[in-house]
Amino acid sequence: MKRFHHRYTLPLILLLLVLAIMALSLGLINFKRDTTLPSNTNAATIGIELNQNYSIVDLHQLEDHGISFVYFRSTQGKTYFDNDFLTYRDQVLGTNLAYGVAQYYSDESTAEEQYQYFVKKVGMQTGSLPILIKPAVSQRSLKYLQSMAHFVSLLQSQGKLAMVAVSNQYRQYFPKGTLFMATGKKVPNQLQYSFWRYTTDGRVKNVSGLEKGVTMYSYNGTVSQYKQKYGQLTQ
């Protein structure tokens, strides 16, 4: 068996091993605390979605930790309305965050019914971001897409910009001017998608209540384009 010829050699090796383990542990802790960012895109234009499943989040903290915009969940179908929507919409006016409204599109009621309920509960104060229409179901039948497209046209008739969280391959079914949000893991084509939902299990550094399970978005364009369309970035 090989012996150590210097009495400090073994303690030094053990000390280095302990320091390496501590450094690795610290790195993992810091990683968990960091904001979840997308790959290969501009980290200055990051947004999240908030709803009643969270405790009320301090929107000023979002500004302080690199979030530039926020979507608030509003209605789904013709009966569901998020309990915290109005609270968040009032609070965001005291910040520099851009905001928008997320509507979850149901297959159990018509476009007219969902539109009337949306207008009743949300009104026309929908922020500077395009109204985000998210499928509430997994199916993408022609009937469902056409119904969603009709909902978009109803919003457009009121001068609203709408964006759908479905593949751009369905663009033929939607009216001219409809924007699309990518929902895959890869960086999307800027010519096809305006925004990107890059995770549904993200976190925002040092913001209470947003340690995990956060739906996060990125603007799929340049910083100057974002500023021109939706406002100043938070610092």
pLDDT in tens, 157-167: 999 999 999 99
| 46/217 Cα distance (integer angstroms) | 6
The pLDDT value recorded for residue 19 is: 57
Q: Look at residue 168 and tell me whether its pLDDT is greater than 90.
A: yes
Give the mean pLDDT of the chain.
88
Name the band, by pLDDT with cuts 50, 70 and 90, for residue 39.
confident
The pLDDT value recorded for residue 14 is: 65
Least confident among 118-122, 135-139, 183-187, 197-201: 183-187
176-196 mean pLDDT? 95
| 176/125 Cα distance (integer angstroms) | 23
Helix, strand, or coil here: 133? strand
Q: CATH 3.20.20.80 region(s) of the chain?
A: 35-230
| 197/30 Cα distance (integer angstroms) | 24
The pLDDT value recorded for residue 11 is: 62
Which residue has 């919003």 as its token pair?
Answer: 155
Least confident among 17-31, 119-133, 173-187: 17-31
Which contiguous run of DSSP H or E holds residue 31? helix 9-33
The pLDDT value recorded for residue 28 is: 37
> φ and ψ at 164, to 5 degrees?
-110, 140
| Residue from 121, 102, 115, 122 nearest 200 by CA | 102
**Higher local confidence (pLDDT), 118 or 229:** 118
- Which amino acid belongs to residue 54? Y
52-70 mean pLDDT? 92
Which residue has 């999240």 as its token pair?
Answer: 48
The pLDDT value recorded for residue 154 is: 98
Superfamily of the domain at 35-230: Glycosidases (3.20.20.80)
Q: Look at residue 204 and tell me whether its pLDDT is greater than 80.
A: yes
The pLDDT value recorded for residue 1 is: 52
Q: Look at residue 31 and tell me whether its pLDDT is greater than 50.
A: no
The pLDDT value recorded for residue 232 is: 66
Tens digits of per-residue pLDDT, 106-156?
999 999 999 999 999 999 999 999 999 999 999 999 999 999 999 999 999
Name the band, by pLDDT with cuts 50, 70 and 90, for residue 25.
very low
87: exposed, middle or buried (Cβ count in 10 Å: 0-12, 13-18, 19+): middle
17-45 mean pLDDT? 61
**Higher local confidence (pLDDT), 82 or 25:** 82
Q: Look at residue 63 and tell me whether its pLDDT is greater than 80.
A: yes
Q: Give the number of other Cβ atoms within 10 Å of residue 22's Cβ.
A: 10
Which tokens belong to 11?
């303690």
- Which amino acid belongs to residue 4? F
